Amino acid sequence: MLDRRAFLGAAAGLALGGCARREARTDVAIIGAGLAGLNAARLLRTTGAQVVVLEASRRIGGRVDTRTDAPGSPELGAADIGALYARILDVAGSLKVDLLPWPEEQGGYWYHVAGRPFTAEQWPGLDINPLVGELRGVAPAALLQRFMPRPNPLPDLAAWLRPEFAGYDRPLGRSLLEAGAPEAALPLMTIGHQAASLDAESALWRLRSGRIGALAVSAAMAAGEPVRRYVRGGMSRIPMAMAKSLQDAVWLGQRVVAISHGSGGVTIRCENDLRLHAGAAVLAVPLPALRPIAFDPPLPEPLAEAIRSIPYGEATSVVLHVTEPYWEADGLPPHFWTDLPLQRGFVNPSPTGDGHHLWIFSTGAADLGQRGGTDAEIGNYVLGELHRVRPSTVGRLTVAAVRNFTRDPLAGGTYAFRAPGQVGQFGNLFSRPAGRLHFAGEHTAELASGMEAAMESGERAALAIASSTSPRTG
């Protein structure tokens, strides 16, 4: 892996005589050193192709982000490896990265809604419970699922793309109301949602997520395998090991700003004026990070429209190091579910094996990062709120790290979802190349979600390039 200083030395050898502009040439240029780009690069290397991965930041991993310099190495991004993550499990095994089973769920949520703290058991009898009849007994965190179609009408992982399920490609909130959800329950159901309103998401997209989750649980149970795993030492170990295996092919500090493409090849220009010529390119960056890149010629419709309009979740991660288990001090459930701006909190094992982290995931309209504070201000605000509503946290938590995904121009949000109508409008159009440009990244996967989606997409792009008849070198 080359950082900028080392890269300048390497690129000098490729510079055109005496010209200040630095130029380089490769078979395949890959943009983005997240799991998608790294997986594409590793697979293409096995076919004998020369690859270069251009990464804008100084860090490998993108939305996998373990902060090894903070107490207990907190995870600000992806940490949870699902049972169906065959590619992640495979790469972890081959690169000798240790995985551990996620500890059994430790109790449910502790709630704080309408200014009142309570547990799921107390909820049915509370005067702030807006529901009637047997619905009063459904815990706030379980309400949304209660009104989703049961059983899930999608019979398999690819079904979301089939026209027979297009009827579900409509606003999620409205679908829940039609399924009998009382209007009064909608604000509760919106807690933890990554968009400002439930209607911003297609109900079909939610069914897709549900199908993936349910299949993972049943597959794990059938195989006697853990439903969830995590990486000893932190999730970033996987992308770091992948990048290391690519040796000098990953160039850090190379923010791509322009791409020209045609039958003769692809030329990629970075902010620092490096030009990389290639026979094909894999664009493995999230859509919000793709939007400012200038394409010559412009990308065709409806691709350009999909890049402009497919929405991303909004969220800030605040991770607190648990110096003493506050839930043992007060005997209440460890996880949080609130209508406060901090929204939800999950107690996770520390990747370094010494205790726990409390991961506050403030999402959607509540997203704390959107209020404009610095990371330190956001961290202190969250800590203050936790002290106020749950006194047992006083002296037992310290802020370990903060990351706002929405404001980060290299991410632009958490992950892609589909607005109502967009499954029908766009299908999975990113699975097809636009000439010599191939798309990868979690937002382009067909069957998987999360990190495994990124791996699936990198594999698909690499296979398409490897099997293409056009010359690789531009």
Question: Which residues of this protein are in contact with ligand FAD, per CB under 6 A?
Answer: 31-37, 54-57, 62-64, 77-80, 255-256, 284-286, 289, 293, 315, 317, 405, 410-411, 414-415, 441-442, 450-451, 453-454
CB of 80 to ligand FAD, least distance (A): 3
CB of 184 to ligand FAD, least distance (A): 30
Residue 126 CB, nearest distance to ligand FAD (Å)? Answer: 31
Helix, coil or strand: residue 90: helix
Q: In whole angstroms, what is the distance from residue 35 CA to residue 62 CA? A: 8
Taking the complex as a whole, how short is the minimal distance between the CB of residue 39 and ligand FAD, in angstroms?
8
Shortest separation between residue 205's beta carbon and ligand FAD, angstroms: 15
- Closest Cα partner for 308 from 408, 419, 446, 197? 419
Residue 13, class by beta-carbon neighbours within 10 Å (0-12 exposed, 13-18 middle, 19+ buried)?
exposed
DSSP letter assigned to residue 145: H
Cα angle 98-48-266, degrees, rounded to a multiple of 5: 105
Q: At closest approach, how far in Å is the CB of 473 from ligand FAD? A: 21
**Residue 231: beta bridge partners?**
99
Q: Taking a C-beta distance cutoff of 8 angstroms, is the pair 426, 309 a contact?
A: no
Q: Which is nearer to ligand FAD, 324 or 446 (CB)?
A: 446
Tell me whether residue 45 or residue 170 sits nearer to ligand FAD (CB atom).
Answer: 45
Which is closer to ligand FAD, CB of 171 or CB of 351?
Answer: 351
Quick one: 56 or 131, whose CB is closer to ligand FAD?
56
Tell me which residue of 436, 400, 316 sits closest to 366, measured CA to CA. Answer: 316
Considering the complex, what minimum distance in angstroms separates the CB of residue 35 from ligand FAD? 4
Supply the minimum distance, in Å, between the C-beta of residue 322 and ligand FAD: 19
Distances (CA, A) of 27 to 41, 213, 281, 316, 342: 11, 38, 9, 38, 46
Is 433 strand, coil or helix?
Answer: coil
Of the pair 119, 245, the CB lying nearest ligand FAD is at 245
Please state, in angstroms and rounded to a whole number, the distance separating the CA atoms of residues 8 and 14.
Answer: 10
- Please give the DSSP secondary-structure letter assigned to residue 60: S
Minimum Å gap between C-beta 33 and ligand FAD is 5
Nearer to ligand FAD by C-beta: 51 or 256?
256
Alpha helices, DSSP H, located in 191-347:
203-223, 237-245, 287-290, 303-309, 326-330
Q: Which CB sits closer to ligand FAD, 50 or 57?
A: 57
Distances in whole angstroms, Cα of residue 187 to Cα of each of 192, 302, 371: 10, 34, 20
Nearer to ligand FAD, 10 or 394 (CB): 10
Decide whether 35 or 307 has the Cβ nearer to ligand FAD. 35
User: Distance between CA 296 and CA 289 in Å, rounded?
Assistant: 17
What is the number of other CB atoms lying within 10 angstroms of the CB of residue 46? Answer: 9
